[in-house]
Chains A and B, each alone.
Chain A
Amino acid sequence: MLAVVAWHVVWQRIAHPDHAFALALWRTVYISVAAQLIGVCLGLITALMRMSRLRVLRLVSGAYVLVFRGTPVIVQIFFVYFGANLLFGFTLIPNTVNFGLFALNGAVFAGIVALGINEGAYMREIYRAGIDAIDKGQMEAAKSLGMTYGLAMRRIILPQAARVIIPPLGNEFNNMLKTSSLVFFIGVTELFGDAEIRNSTAFQPVEYFTAVAFWYLVLTTIWSVIQAQIERALAREERGDQISFRERVFQAWAPVAAWRTGGSR
């Protein structure tokens, strides 16, 4: 079975990436990062809206989650890219979107926007859980010191909620790296698109998709290492001990060192 696979093709895709591939890889990375950033901001805004005294804002926030968690991302991507044009007769997303410093392909921009809005709905729930996890006494203590709601949120509640939010945020980004492959369907040649386009001429699906799976694995693995570092840093801060990286490595080796001195005795 495995012998049928042309392993040299897989190896070729992994060991000798060409320029088009590098570009596709880079697209996947920046689409994911940009969409996640939008999601992080939108999630925070809508999480705060949910706690607002104004009913309208609470309703908007609720409807947002209902719609964007309740419909497929691919539909949302199509809607942002084609939808406005079909429904209202104008093109929401031009072919090239100019940001002054740089320009983006319209499809890439639509993909980032759609993924970001979708992500915001999930992030809102993560913020909500994080903020709810903070003891009510914290807000009361802050208020009793004369802080306004906004200041207390910024200085007291959110920094504490961050510790609850960061681990699931990491998982969300891991997901985003993979979900971003959907923008291929509006014509963006990212990592998955690159594989599919080559496959359509070579017709070696197993080889090309095995290689692309490997590259996704590389991305998510790199991210999980970064995520673990961030979480460890947060946990260390929480414990309140301030030991350096060198000390930590040294401590990890201490049992081994003890065993060795024990042996020489």
Chain B
Amino acid sequence: MLLATEVQKHFGRLHVLKGVSLELSRGEVVCLIGPSGSGKTTFLRCVNHLEAIDGGRIEVDGELIGYRERRGRLVEDSERAIARKRSRIGMVFQRFNLFPHKTALENVIEAPLRVLGLPKQRCVTEGEQLLERVGLEDKRDVYPGKLSGGQQQRVAIARALAMKPALMLFDEPTSALDPEMIGEVLAVMSELAHEMTMLVVTHEMGFAREAANRVAMMDDGQIVEEAPPAELFGAPAEERTRRFLSKIL
């Protein structure tokens, strides 16, 4: 489903991703953990081409992301092609990024309506189902400004799901939340983990332990270790993983 090979990324002179390779098969849930500044979020943003990559390649569902191949070389895709490929990849942001001028339901149906051009009635029906799924059916006509952080993030998840993505990316989805709201968002994500392919950047080790099939530890622009959660948390092979876990657990 996701195949990243030797991904390189620089910000100016800063070498942020030093050859990151990661593979997710369909239905798999992988959590990316690691100290801040290790490149987790940057890597996630490269997967849907919010950041261009300088080397390597990223494929989602067999399609090269952000680029196309021409005579063995990679050329940046047209805007339209990038947008089309992105529409198959859902993303949930740390700061929710809901559209404040639209109600919860309008947030959810905006993309199916405008990007996919589906009929309004169908979008609304499916949108309502999605809001119900994240437990917010009674908030359909409420503007984001009147929702709590946890509720906003759940609407954001519903909004991403509305495009029926093949892959869901979560960029520290609970880091901007008050502690009492983290649980409700993680509950929705755990539910989702049974059926979706998900790549989750998170500091919630409890979630990683329970919902992930694999956990990948990133440090200094590289994946230093990758293992099922029981293994990685129970008996980390790498010294750097041990050091990181000892600080946060």
- Residues of A at the B interface (CB closer than 8 Å) are 135, 137-138, 140-149, 151, 155-156, 159-160, 237-240
Contact = CB atoms under 8 A, between A and B. Distances in A.
B111 A137 contact: no
A35 B14 CA distance: 49
Which among B83, B88, B145, B159 has the highest number of chain A CB atoms within 10 Å?
B83
B211 to A, nearest CB: 22
B87 to A, nearest CB: 3
A113 to B, nearest CB: 34
B79 A151 contact: no
Contacts of B159: 145
A155 to B, nearest CB: 6
B101 A145 contact: no
Interface in B175-224: none
B110 A155 contact: yes
A105 B122 CA distance: 53
A212 to B, nearest CB: 42
Nearest to B103: A240
Contacts of B25: none
Contacts of A155: 110, 114
Given A140-B50, A151-B115, A240-B145, A146 B97 contact: no
Top 8 A-B pairs ranked by shortest CB distance?
A146-B87, A141-B97, A240-B143, A145-B111, A137-B97, A144-B91, A146-B115, A148-B83
B50 A160 contact: no
Nearest to A136: B97
Contacts of B142: 240
A239 B145 CA distance: 8
Question: What DSSP secondary structure best describes chain A's contact surface?
Answer: helix
A147 B83 CA distance: 6
A143 B93 contact: no
20 contacts: A137-B97, A138-B99, A140-B93, A140-B97, A144-B50, A144-B86, A144-B91, A144-B160, A145-B87, A145-B111, A145-B115, A145-B160, A145-B163, A146-B84, A146-B116, A147-B83, A147-B115, A148-B83, A240-B142, A240-B146
Contacts of A240: 142-143, 145-146
Nearest to B85: A146
A144 B89 contact: yes
Nearest to A242: B141
A144 B48 contact: yes
Contact of A160 (B84, B91, B100, B111): B100
A240 B83 CA distance: 31
B80 interface: yes
Given A138-B99, A140-B97, 17 more contacts: A137-B97, A140-B93, A143-B50, A143-B83, A145-B111, A145-B160, A146-B84, A147-B111, A147-B114, A147-B115, A148-B79, A149-B79, A155-B114, A238-B101, A238-B145, A239-B145, A240-B145
Contact of B114 (A135, A151, A160, A238): A151
B101 A159 contact: yes
Interface in B89-124: 89-91, 93, 95, 97-101, 110-111, 114-116
Contacts of A156: 99, 110
Interface string B136-164: 00000011011000000000100110010
A164 to B, nearest CB: 12
Which among A140, A146, A155, A237 has the highest number of chain B CB atoms within 10 Å?
A146
A148 B114 CA distance: 10
B99 A146 contact: no
B50 A141 contact: no
A141 B160 CA distance: 9
B101 to A, nearest CB: 5
B115 A141 contact: no
Contact of B97 (A138, A148, A237): A138
Interface in B56-82: 79-80
B97 A135 contact: yes
A238 B98 CA distance: 14
B51 to A, nearest CB: 10
A59 B79 CA distance: 23
A229 B91 CA distance: 39
B199 to A, nearest CB: 13
Contacts of B48: 144
Contacts of A135: 95, 97
